[in-house]
Amino acid sequence: MSSSKSVGLREKAAKFLSDQVYLPYVGPISIWILLFVFAPLGVVLYFSFLRVGPFGQILNSFTLEHYRLMLKPTYIQVFMRTFVFSFGTNIICLLIGYPLAYFIVRCGGKWKTFLMFLVIVPSWTCYLIRLYALKTLTGNGGLINEALLNLGLISSPLNILYTPFAVVLGLVFGFLPFMVLPIYASLEGLDPSLLEASEDLGATPLKRFFTVTLPLTKGGILAGTILVFIPSLGEWLVPMLLGGAKVMMAGNLIEEQYIKLGNIPAGSSIAVVLTTIVVLIIYLSVKMGGEEVLERMM
């Protein structure tokens, strides 16, 4: 399905380029991308190499000191944590999201659209408000602790807030719909006769899932991963509200440099490193067979 289509796409692209009829089409979008993607990135990249003066002013001279800063163990630790949290968030979203999407597609019947609506509805509320709600729920005097205390299940409030658990919970809470949606779409697009054929050829329901359903919805999983893992890497609001100073992520480092310390070049260098890593991950996942996914997303 994918291979012949992508070959066709490539041929079409080659013809498109050689005919030079693309100019009127790519003109406006190129200007848009140049202005709003590459220009800001260029500015950030430029600033990241600039020296900072004694009064915090930006001096127009070249330095690599901000990049050197990143070799500090605390910075490396925060970066590692960012990866572990994002990866963990992605895995948890997948483990919750796939069965959820599967259930909605298989058992939803006429309620399918409504159930998907329920999945999406929370993301219509302001992200900040939802995070504060979560903060209230998980805090020492929050609903969860109060309930557990009153039920006599625990004797002192659980420490949930300002722990890695709270941060990952917040990330999963925020990004789950973005995992469910593409998986739902790929499950919906799965030809039911393939499932019947699999059963007919002797596959038990479990075997059928692993030999047909899962491989054919790989695209949805990859798309979901791109939508969950990558934004998690740059997330700063969740760790700030739910992790406090104890559980920082890379985004918080940038925020700290830009806003609290006013050190734009140092913040820019962290942003450059993070962006480079993200671009690398996208490139690798596309290389590893995500081409089909991108095609679908476009």
Partner 1 sequence: MTNKNSAPCVELRGVVKKFSGLVAVDHVDLKVEQGKVFSLLGPSGCGKTTTLRLVAGLEMLDEGDILIDGEVINDVPAYNRDCSTVFQTLALFPHMTVEGNIAYGLERRKVDKAEIKVRIGEMVELMGLGGMEKRHPAQLSGGQRQRVALARSLVLRPKILLLDEPLASLDRKLRKEMQVELKRIQREVGITFLYVTHDQKVALSISDIIAVMANGKLEQIGSARDIYETPKTKLIADFMGASNIFPGKARDKAGKNVEIETESGLKIIALKGKDKDGNSKEITGVSVHPELIGISHKGTDVKVGNKFEGKIVEMIYQGDFIETKVVIGRTGEQITANLGSEFGQETQFSPGEEVVVYWNPASSNILLG
Which stretches of the chain bind partner 1, using CB under 8 A?
Answer: 1-5, 191, 193-194, 196-204, 207, 211-212, 215-216
- The amino acid at residue 279 is V
Q: What is the DSSP string of 222-248?
A: HHHHHHHHHHHHT--HHIIIIITTTS-
- Nearest CA-CA partner of 183 in 133, 225, 220: 220
Q: How far is the CB of 2 from partner 1 (least distance, A)?
A: 8
Residue closer to partner 1 (CB basis): 11 or 196: 196
Pull the structure tokens for residue 166. Answer: 């709270």
Residue closer to partner 1 (CB basis): 180 or 195: 195
Residue closer to partner 1 (CB basis): 198 or 285: 198
Residue closer to partner 1 (CB basis): 51 or 296: 296
Residue closer to partner 1 (CB basis): 56 or 289: 289
Q: How far is the CB of 187 from partner 1 (least distance, A)?
A: 15
- The amino acid at residue 92 is I
- Nearest CA-CA partner of 214 in 198, 232, 230, 231: 198
Q: How far is the CB of 211 from partner 1 (least distance, A)?
A: 7
Q: What is the DSSP string of 43-111?
A: HHHHHHTEEE-TTSPEEEEE--HHHHHTTSHHHHHHHHHHHHHHHHHHHHHHHHHHHHHHHHHHH-GGG
Pull the structure tokens for residue 243. Answer: 């992790």
Distances (CA, A) of 128 to 60, 72, 122, 236: 37, 31, 12, 12
Q: How far is the CB of 215 from partner 1 (least distance, A)?
A: 5
Q: How far is the CB of 185 from partner 1 (least distance, A)?
A: 17
Residue closer to partner 1 (CB basis): 130 or 296: 296
Q: How far is the CB of 288 from partner 1 (least distance, A)?
A: 15
Give the CA angle between residues 79, 83, 88 to the nearest 5°. 145
Residue closer to partner 1 (CB basis): 212 or 274: 212
Q: How far is the CB of 196 from partner 1 (least distance, A)?
A: 5
- Nearest CA-CA partner of 63 in 49, 75, 74, 53: 49
